[in-house]
Structure 1
């Protein structure tokens, strides 16, 4: 009996060694970049007075906004800047679940001589809002697309808990592991964000949230509406759209961005 126990203990140890070694090999495949550096894609229009800064969700990348950077109407209206958040794409590969630290990493990319408009999809929404709280005087407007704001609606799901196991971490692609790190702590991060004073966000804000969103419940945007100054925020709820309205209804999101841009000229 003891020999069997020793055998299975030895076998389990061997399996763990292989798993850890494999995980380390997977990590070595991640491109190494300068800490706190961010990958950026931009289209500049020197004659414009606006910069639009796009912040992706979880997982995601700056390429997720390619359709927007290619839009002639947006190119005529603003400088367009899309960023790889910490943990993704060409940015620092280490996962960073802190919404505050994610926002602080983006802060240097705000234009000093143009009006800044932030566009955030999914988790990019609360990161954009956090950036607005850090530098309200540098942000002229925001557009949130299918955002996550309500801590009670963003507890880890059953699949997040499965993805948080050692075996799942070994099997899943790196960006999905990065994303799950963010999802496991998202509710607590949103609690911290909700504890801040949102009344300083008096700039024009549009929220686009599809009624059929089954990933970020539309109640997230209702939560935001109830906390933001009433005179500054507008909620757009397309009835047949879900979480991927960012890609499935580009014209609607672009229209929402133009509304914010146009509101600047009316001030």
Structure 2
């Protein structure tokens, strides 16, 4: 698999690091989840290496990208960085918080998004079951309390425990990986306005009308129950969307089940 890395220096508020996998004819842009990095797409990219050239970038405060400078909105800053990489119509794929960034990118430049895949999107504002949102708040309490107490290492470990189904547990991670997660954990609260509220009006009548491209809403069968509820809510709003479930997978499905994710992408792209 060919891998090329570069730093994006387009006129965006903060430049970000990106890398490229594969050499296939289909251009794809992929966005990772919180506390991860662009390299987590290696497995999916390897499955698609002859079909697609996959570009992935590190969100701010992740991987080799700089720390967010606390200016503006965290999601908006990453949307701007992502849009700087959309030089032609591409297939857009996002996982977890990266899926919420991808969704906003598609809303702003639908003309440059050939298809949109949202894997385990954490756009909780779209969830149909408010009871599940209350459950999620309770599940998040230990992580939130650790962060407020000034213990980012414990907060990162608890956050990883909450969302890492289908991926290595904290004790099995390398010291470098754990340090990267501790670095990124501070920005999780900054994501709350983007994931808990419908700031862009997507859920309002007609708010998603511009998203006419094929859309895949993908989640694992063993994920947190709030995610299928989010996908059900999005399915009602998005005009050309479908839901697919990968059996046996949890929230980290793009890492744990790359072959199945690649197969789902092929199915979408063939429509």
| TM-score band w.r.t. shorter chain | 0.7 to 0.9
Aligned pairs, how many? 222
2:152 is matched with: 169
Q: Looking at secondary structure, tell me which structure has more helix per residue.
A: 1
Q: 1:84 to 1:215 in 2, by over 3 A?
A: farther
2:194 counterpart residue number: 189
1:89 CA displacement: 0.8
Match of 1:178 among 160, 177, 184: 184
Q: Are the equivalent residues in 2 in contact too, given 1:142–1:260 (CA < 8 A)? A: no
Aligned position for 1:89: 63
Distance verdict in 2 for CA 1:40–1:237, change over 3 Å? same
Shift of 1:39: 1.2
Distance 2:181 2:15 in 1: 17
Distance 1:140 1:76, change over 3 A: same
Aligned match for 1:214, one of 224, 229, 234 = 224
Q: Tell me which of 105, 108, 119 is aligned to 1:134.
A: 108
TM-score normalised by the chain length of structure 1: 0.74
Aligned equivalents of 2:186, 2:208: Cα separation in 1? 27
Output the CA distance in 1 between the equivalents of 2:248 and 2:184: 30
Q: Give a deviation string over 1:66-113, Cα, whole Å, max 9, x none.
A: 112223xx222222111111111111222766322211111111132x
Q: Which residue of 2 aligns with 1:123?
A: 97
Structure-2 residue corresponding to 1:227: 237
Deviations 1:197-237 (A, max 9, x none): 222111011111123212853211112112111xx111012
Look up the SS of the partner of 2:94 in the other structure: strand
Conserved 8 A contact 1:163-1:180: no
Structure 1 unaligned residues grouped into runs of 5+: 1-32
Q: Which one of the candidate residues 46, 54, 78 is aligned to 2:30?
A: 54
C-alpha distance in structure 1 between counterparts of 2:265 and 2:222, whole Å: 21
CA deviations 1:48-83 (Å, max 9, x no partner) are: 2x3111100011101111112223xx2222221111
The runs of 5 or more residues in structure 2 that have no matched partner are 1-7, 157-178
Q: RMSD across aligned C-alpha pairs, in angstroms?
A: 2.6
Aligned residue among 85, 96, 106 for 1:109? 85
